[in-house]
Structure 1
Amino acid sequence: MQRPMEGVRILEVAQFTFVPAAGAVLADWGADVIKVEHAERGDAQRALVRLLGLDAASKGSSFFPIMEGPNRGKRSIGLALEKPGARKVLEELIRSSDVFLTNFLPGARRKLGIELEDVRAINPDIIYVRGSGFGSRGPDADKGGYDSTAFWARGGSAAGVTPPGSERMMKMPSGAYGDSIGGMTIAGGIAAALYSRKATGEPSVVDVSLLGVGAWATQFSVNLALLAGGPPPLPEPPKHGSATNPLVGSYRTSDDRWLELCMLQPGRYWAEFVRIAGHEELAADERFDTTEKLMANAAEAGEIVAGIIGARTFAEWTELLDGGEGQWSAVQNAWEIGQDPALRAVGMIAPVVDADGRDRELVANPVQFDETPVQLRRAPQFAEHTEELLRELGLSDAELAQLKIDGAIT
């Protein structure tokens, strides 16, 4: 299996999911990712035992999905960067690394001596990567943010999915939603920076913000607003289908499941759809027998489609629609996604053995090389590799003991 990041070392000084998710992707691709965690507190995300009202961990098990997802494949070192004794260790790690990856705020970076100039003074060739809430420059450079604030709310997605007149704003569909997308974005930026360094000999400074990723995700609407000189109007959508196409939109089945149709060429797919649905007479109906008529009477056609789909179960419709060429999809919940045969066929739901030796599964990152599924390795336990890494750096038993006495390492 090709592991394109084999031989690359990433030094990650980061917490939560946004930036660590990038490290996980790079570890999937073969990089040696060293995760620096505070010697006493560790990654703050380890303490999030409940999230979105749900238990994030299983009692009696070391498997902790909220940590496994963004940290699989890494090695963890417990290092108290504020302690003078930890500085030598940090500097040796920086010297041996290709990439320095962080989401610490500017004030914390200055206090800990890990700003760009500090790190480059130790290793002039290192690629320096900052993940931020609102950008590394500008009025909010010192402001912290999470994906719910910077990506979802300020980046436009929340407004885009919240209906006018709604009593509450729509929330993200999953925990760490923007973080995971942003982490993948950072990983791509690092790959480009490594290529550039190899081609030019010059290391890059890479910046990715959650706000920037949010704006990129909503760019269609933002670009229209920039063109119009103001927010684009929000036309009242029809109850069923779209304004000009009954075969675009969501429809409810008889057992309260949903289907999403996206047949962008209504004239091409109308006859096929009504035939599959058992209403072939609608193809010759004078209201819908040409593309122009079908588009002009889309609201009426949408009501008819809603009635037709509402008369059968979800299972019946998935079997029927599988026999056609039109584009559609089942609306799946989290469990169904994990069982999706298309994902499993290409190894995107990947096995991993946890720290207790039990077989588990995680979602793989969406990039695959040479049609070969990634081989996942579990996330590290807190500070699990501290001694291993220090010995790799050449520290003696006496030096390790002194660092422990000083509280510089776990």
Structure 2
Amino acid sequence: MSEHRPPPLEGIRVLDLSRILAGPWCTQNLADLGADVIKVERPGAGDDTRGWGPPYMKGPDGKDTSEAAYYLSCNRNKRSITVDYATPEGADLIRELAAKSDILVENFKVGGLKKYGLDYDSLRAVNPRLIYCSVTGFGQTGPYAERPGYDFMIQGMAGLMSITGERDDLPGGGPQKAGVAVTDIITGMYATVAVLAALQERHRSGLGQQLDIALFDCHVAMLANQNSNFFTSGKAPRRAGNAHQNVVPYQVFATSDGHMIVATGNDTQYRAYCKAIGAPELGEDPRFALNSGRVTHRDVLIPRLVAIMKTGRRDDWIAKLEAVGVPCGPINDIAQAFGHPQAQARELRREIPHRLGGAAPVTASPLRFSGSPVQYRRAPPMLGEHTEEVLRDVLGKP
């Protein structure tokens, strides 16, 4: 077996002035890839999510520690320092660190750091190679630029809640948010892509730049085919419950003992599905032979499939469909997902030794590299845990 090479971003330093989720999600990605991420926090308080519990990480004695699960989810592999940059001395310290950093990530309101002399123009004068990533609710321009933005409100404003949830004409219909802060997470992912692209561009130009990443923009962008449905039809898509707007059948079905998902992605899979459930005639019916016909005649086809699926047990249906290559699966809760043999084989739960004793449980990075793999070097840090270390190692301060 060949020896592993250093992580992709080894030697890159990131100054992380962000908090909550979108910015920290980006910087955790960079940290997982080997960057030295220095998380700058307020003395005495730190990142807001440190207090977003319960639940909290358990100590060796089985009792709650001070570390909230929410904070643990997006801060591994980082070093934490405490700096009050509202003071002239603290702002000077951030400028010194910025002068020795490759990337700065912040999620203050537009103009929020200018009063401290920590805005992009000020820091560019100190370090022209600095890549300065600004994550805001609505971006640096536009009539809403100065407004704060939060995941939940953006899910509503950007359209997701108009297409999520049960149909309005059915019981339980109405606006529904996603079960996780998807706006923040997708913004963190777009920010990661932008930072990596800016690093590559810096190889050519030798210069940094400001990255303007908005929750609103990112959330609109992630609506993907639903936006295209609107562009091409002129009609805003509506809620479809657990069905798919453009593919049929591609939805949840009730069985005699639970629920399952059937996801036929093409006409061949659909015909195989019909044979497996004992209804080959539905695969041969010219109304349903092509996906376009199944979408058009959804209200005729789906009730017939619903009636059939209710006659069998979930696991029996899954076995039959998997045997003929039809994509399907159960609806697991999170405990069942981590207990799945595939999750265990991929080691999706990791534990990193923690300063408080015991281990911090974290979700593995999905980024897998054959030659320079992700390393789990540090548990999410305690508040200010590395202040002296960073000031000594980076700035040479005693």
Q: Does 1:351 align with 2:351?
A: yes
Q: Does 1:155 align with 2:158?
A: yes
Q: The residue matched to 1:218 in structure 2 has which SS?
A: coil
Superposition deviation, residue 291 in structure 1: 4.7
Superposition deviation, residue 293 in structure 1: 5.1
Superposed, 1:331-342 pairs within 5 Å as: 331-342=331-342
Equivalent of 2:102 in 76, 98, 102: 98
Q: The residue matched to 2:397 in structure 1 has which SS?
A: coil
* Paired AA for residue 368 in structure 1: R
Superposition deviation, residue 270 in structure 1: 4.4
- Answer whether contact 1:38 1:78 (CA < 8 A) is retained: yes
Distance in 2 separating the partners of 1:368 and 1:324: 30
Superposition deviation, residue 256 in structure 1: 2.7
- Answer whether contact 2:77 2:379 (CA < 8 A) is retained: yes
* Paired AA for residue 157 in structure 1: L
* Paired AA for residue 265 in structure 1: N
Superposed CA RMSD: 2.7
Equivalent of 2:188 in 178, 183, 202: 183
* Paired AA for residue 164 in structure 2: V
- Relative to 1, partners in 2 of residues 1:88 and 1:289: Cα closer, same or farther, differing over 3 Å? closer
- Answer whether contact 1:244 1:299 (CA < 8 A) is retained: no
Q: Deviations over 1:332-376 (max 9, x none)?
A: 222222233334433443332333342453223332222776332
Distance in 2 separating the partners of 1:227 and 1:269: 27
Equivalent of 2:78 in 54, 69, 74: 74
Q: Does 1:172 align with 2:178?
A: yes
Q: Deviations over 1:31-65 (max 9, x none)?
A: 00000001122112212225xxxx45555235532
User: Structure 2: 5+ residue runs without aligned partners?
Assistant: none
Superposition deviation, residue 233 in structure 1: 5.8
Q: 1:379 maps to which residue? A: 380
Percent identical: 25
Equivalent of 2:222 in 217, 222, 231: 217
Distance in 1 separating the partners of 2:270 and 2:110: 57
Superposition deviation, residue 24 in structure 1: 0.4
Q: Deviations over 1:120-159 (max 9, x none)?
A: 1221211111001111111111111111112x11121111
TM (norm. structure 2) is 0.86
Q: 2:263 maps to which residue? A: 262
Distance in 1 separating the partners of 2:10 and 2:236: 47
Task: Answer with 341-350 or 293-302: which moved more.
Answer: 293-302
TM (norm. structure 1) is 0.83
Q: Deviations over 1:160-214 (max 9, x none)?
A: 114335664212212x322122112211111111011012212121121111111
Distance in 1 separating the partners of 2:125 and 2:269: 63
Task: Answer with 293-302 or 355-364: which moved more.
Answer: 293-302
Distance in 2 separating the partners of 1:187 and 1:10: 12
Q: Does 1:194 align with 2:189?
A: no
Distance in 1 separating the partners of 2:336 and 2:300: 33
Distance in 2 separating the partners of 1:91 and 1:27: 21
Q: Deviations over 1:65-118 (max 9, x none)?
A: 211121111000000001222233212211110001100113421222211111
Q: 2:92 maps to which residue? A: 88
Distance in 2 separating the partners of 1:356 and 1:323: 49
* Paired AA for residue 49 in structure 2: Q
The count of corresponding residues between Structure 1 and Structure 2 is: 380
Q: The residue matched to 1:26 in structure 2 has which SS?
A: helix
Task: Answer with 185-194 or 313-322: which moved more.
Answer: 313-322
Q: 2:284 maps to which residue? A: 289
- Relative to 1, partners in 2 of residues 1:382 and 1:169: Cα closer, same or farther, differing over 3 Å? same
Q: 1:395 maps to which residue? A: 397
- Relative to 1, partners in 2 of residues 1:177 and 1:337: Cα closer, same or farther, differing over 3 Å? farther
Q: The residue matched to 2:135 in structure 1 has which SS?
A: strand
Q: The residue matched to 1:106 in structure 2 has which SS?
A: coil
* Paired AA for residue 314 in structure 2: F
- Answer whether contact 2:168 2:174 (CA < 8 A) is retained: no
